[in-house]
A and B are shown apart, each in its own frame.
Chain A
Amino acid sequence: MSVAMAAQTYSPSARRFLSYLAVIGLAFVMLYPLLWMFSASLTPGGQIGSAGLIPPRGVTLENYQQGWNGVGGVGFGRFFLNSLLVSGAAVLGNILSCSLAAYAFARIDFTWRRVWFALAVGSILLPAQVLIIPQYILFRSFGWVNTYYPLIVPKFLAHDAFFVFLMVQFIRGIPRELDHAARIDGCGHFGIYWRIILPLLMPALATTAAFTFINTWNDFFGPLIYLTRPQLFTVPIALRAFIDATSASSLGPLFAMSVLSLLPVLGFFLAFQRLLTEGIVTTGLK
Chain B
Amino acid sequence: MNVGARAAEPRRSVLGGLAGLSRLSASQQENVYGYLFLLPWFVGMIAITIGPIVASLVLAFTDYSILSPPHWVGVANFVTMLTADPRYLDSVHTTLTYVGISVPLVLVWGLALALVLNQGLKFLPVFRAVFYVPSLLGSSVAVAILWFYMFGKDGLINLALRPLGIQGPSYIGNPSFALYTLIVLNLWAFGSGMIIFLAGLRQIPPELYEAAQLDGAGRWARFWTITLPLLTPVLFFNAVLGLVGGFQAFTSAYVVSNGTGGPADATLLYQVYLYQRGFVNLNMGYACAMAWVLLTVMAVCTGVLFWSSRYWVFYGEDR
* A residues neighboring B (CB under 8 Å): 1, 3-4, 8, 16, 19-20, 22-23, 26-27, 30-34, 36-37, 48-50, 96-97, 100-101, 103-105, 108-111, 113, 116, 119-120, 123, 125-138, 140, 154, 156-159, 164, 182, 185-191, 193-195, 199, 214, 218, 220-221, 224-225, 235-237, 239-240, 243-244, 251, 254-255, 258-259, 261-262, 265-266, 269, 273, 276-277, 280-281, 284-286
Contacts and interface: CB of A to CB of B under 8 A. Distances in A.
B149 A104 contact: no
B45 interface: yes
Given A1-B112, A113-B34, A126-B295, 12 more contacts: A31-B130, A97-B44, A105-B38, A108-B33, A127-B244, A130-B291, A154-B44, A157-B48, A225-B279, A240-B141, A265-B136, A277-B128
A159 B139 contact: no
8 contacts: A4-B219, A27-B127, A30-B134, A129-B291, A132-B291, A190-B15, A255-B149, A284-B196
A187 B37 CA distance: 16
B128 A125 contact: no
Contact of A243 (B119, B145, B279): B145
Contact of A129 (B44, B116, B145, B248): B248
Contact of A157 (B40, B53, B137): B40
Given A36-B150, A133-B59, A138-B52, A218 B140 contact: yes
A103 B48 contact: no
Given A125-B302, A265-B140, A132 B154 contact: no
A272 to B, nearest CB: 11
A266 B116 contact: no
Contact of B146 (A23, A237, A258): A258
Interface stretch (B73-81, B208-216, B251-259): B251-259
A108 B250 contact: no
| Chain A interface SS verdict (over half) | helix
A171 to B, nearest CB: 12
A110 B43 contact: no
A134 B50 CA distance: 10
B136 A286 contact: yes
B16 A37 contact: no
A104 B250 CA distance: 35
Contacts of A131: 48-49, 52-53, 56
B139 A286 contact: yes
Contacts of B51: 134, 138
A195 B248 contact: no
B250 A20 contact: no
Contacts of B11: 186, 188
A257 B59 CA distance: 40
Best-buried of A129, A135, A188, A240 by chain B (most CB within 10 Å): A129
B7 A187 contact: yes
The interface residues of chain B, by DSSP majority, are classed as helix
Interface of B: 3, 6-16, 27, 30-31, 33-35, 37-38, 40-41, 43-45, 47-49, 51-53, 55-56, 59, 66, 108, 112-113, 115-117, 119, 121, 127-143, 145-150, 154, 156, 159, 188-189, 192, 195-196, 199, 218-220, 237-238, 240-241, 244-245, 247-248, 250-251, 254-255, 258, 271, 274-275, 278-279, 284, 287-288, 290-292, 294-295, 298, 302
B262 to A, nearest CB: 15
A37 B150 CA distance: 9
Contacts of A284: 192, 196, 237-238, 241
A26 B250 contact: no
A224 B38 CA distance: 31
A185 B38 contact: no
Given A22-B116, A186-B10, A261 B130 contact: no
Contacts of B147: 33
A19 B38 contact: no
B137 A243 contact: no
A182 B6 CA distance: 11
B3 A221 contact: no
**B15, B149, B218, most chain A CB atoms within 10 A:** B149
B60 to A, nearest CB: 9
